[in-house]
Structures are given as structure tokens and as C-alpha cells.
A = this chain, B = another copy of it.
Amino acid sequence: MNRKQIIEQIKSKRSFLCVGLDTDLSKIPAHLLDTEDPIFEFNKAIIDATKDYCVAYKPNNAFYECYGVKGWESLQKTIEYIPENCFIIADAKRGDIGNTSNYYAKTFFETMNCDAVTVAPYMGEDSVKPFLQFENKWVIVLALTSNAGALDFQFTTDTKGEELYKKVLRKTAQWGTPDNMMYVVGATRAEGIGEVRKIVPDHFFLVPGVGAQGGSLEDVANYGWNQDCGLLVNSSRGIIYASNGTDFAEKAGIEAKKIQEEMAKILDQKGF
């Protein structure tokens, strides 16, 4: 999916919501555990219930890999099930030397047929560039993350007064373009979103941390908005675990719709 198509989806669905599929066997409704592939059954119902309210899905690989081969099967089936008009993000946080990153890019863009993959920047240019060689595919670079540990290294200020996350933005923006690169910017650091927006005015941001992690949608929109909306705001637990009863999908749909309606208001206010 290319940039133009993402923007069209945001406009037509009146939503910039990404639903995080962090599907955990210990949290899904008990009645699904007897099915052949409980993770896929859960995801299928969640996707059916939320697909009209979101423009993207983001399965986090860790939750699938921890079940080994069986987990990758569930992941692959889930990705195949996601409707064509939804952007698919593999939240995998990969990154290795060039030759190896090339295989990760093939994994997520060819084998798994995702639209985007999250990538950690620590290993520098040759670890990121192989992901940029695929048409209409996206690399989403970790810039400013939503967790407490972000403070350990991302705010380290260099001798020129530049914080590491800003250097990551400035340098990586030279490797890709706003048509094949996005950034992870945590909603828990609202003012940071504004700082990021100054450095990369045109890029889309993937914003985790709204909901369970405590970030505010309004702040995200205030600080992160650009002429193309420029935001994919993720919610995982707040939607997919809204209920752990037989009504889990219905309740997930209700939560997704609530966020979509808030987003529609923002889009209206912005005249988008």
C-alpha cells in the first residue's frame, strides 16, 4: 500500500486507528482455547469486528513467535485474513548487518506480504537500507519509544546538543523518503511528538501508547498532525481485551468505534 492509498483510507474510513494484534493465549476468552488455532480464531473475530473502524493492523511478532512454528502459522493466517484495504505492520523490531537485513526484508515483504516492518536503528545505515528496496513497502524506524527505557539512551545529548532520537531522525530521513519510511513515536511523550514533527514534517508516525500505556489521542493529534494527517495511532490491549467473555469481539468493535469517532472529530476539525 502506498502513501496515497493510506491517505485515501484515512479519509474514507474517518479513522487513523491501527489495531495492535498482541494476541496472548493467557488473555483470550476460554471458549476459544478448544479450537484448533485459538490465536487465529481470536484474531479473525477481532478483525471482523474492527475492520470498519481502523486503517491498519499491527501484529506484534513476539506474541506469535513464543509458540514457535505453530505461532508463525497463526501469524501467517492472520496476515492473509486482513482485508486488502488495511495497512499491515509487522511489529518485529528487526535490524542486522546489510546482508542479513535483506533476509528480514524478504521475510516480511515477500514471504509474509506485510506492508511495513518496524526496525531498530542502533546498527545504522546498512541495517536499515535493505528494507527500503521494495516498492510500496515501508520501514518504520524506532525513534522515540513509549516505554520507560526510552530515557536510557534515546535522550542522550551529543556534543552538538542533539539528542540521540533526533540524530536518528535526521540521519535515517536521508536514507529513505516519506514514501517508504515512517517513525515510531510514543504517545506517552506528547511534547516529544512535536519535536519529532519539526525534524520530519512530512513522514507518517506510528504512535503506540494510547490507551493502556496512558497516552492521549488529543495530544498526539495536536503535536503530530501534518498536511496528510501523518498519524497511525495504535491501540492494542484497550481494544482486543475489552472483554474476555463470549462477547469479546463485539466489545472490541465497540472500543474501536469509540476511538474512530474521536478520530473522525479530529479529522473534521482539521478539515481533512
Interface residues of A (CB under 8 A from B): 22, 24, 60, 62-63, 65-69, 72-73, 76, 91, 93-98, 100-101, 103-104, 106-107, 110-112, 120-128, 142, 145-154, 156-159, 164, 167-168, 171
Contact = CB atoms under 8 A, between A and B. Distances in A.
A22 B171 contact: no
A24 B110 CA distance: 16
Contacts of A110: 66
Nearest to A93: B96
A154 B122 CA distance: 7
B65 A97 contact: no
A106 B66 contact: yes
A149 B120 contact: no
Contacts of A63: 100, 103
Contacts of A95: 93, 120
Considering residues A127, A149, A159, which has the most beta carbons from chain B within 10 angstroms of its beta carbon?
Answer: A149
A97 B67 CA distance: 19
29 contacts: A22-B100, A24-B103, A63-B100, A63-B103, A66-B103, A69-B72, A69-B73, A93-B94, A93-B95, A93-B96, A93-B123, A97-B146, A120-B122, A120-B123, A121-B122, A121-B152, A121-B153, A122-B122, A122-B145, A123-B149, A124-B147, A124-B149, A124-B150, A124-B154, A127-B147, A153-B167, A153-B171, A157-B159, A159-B159
B125 A148 contact: yes
Contacts of A60: 96, 100
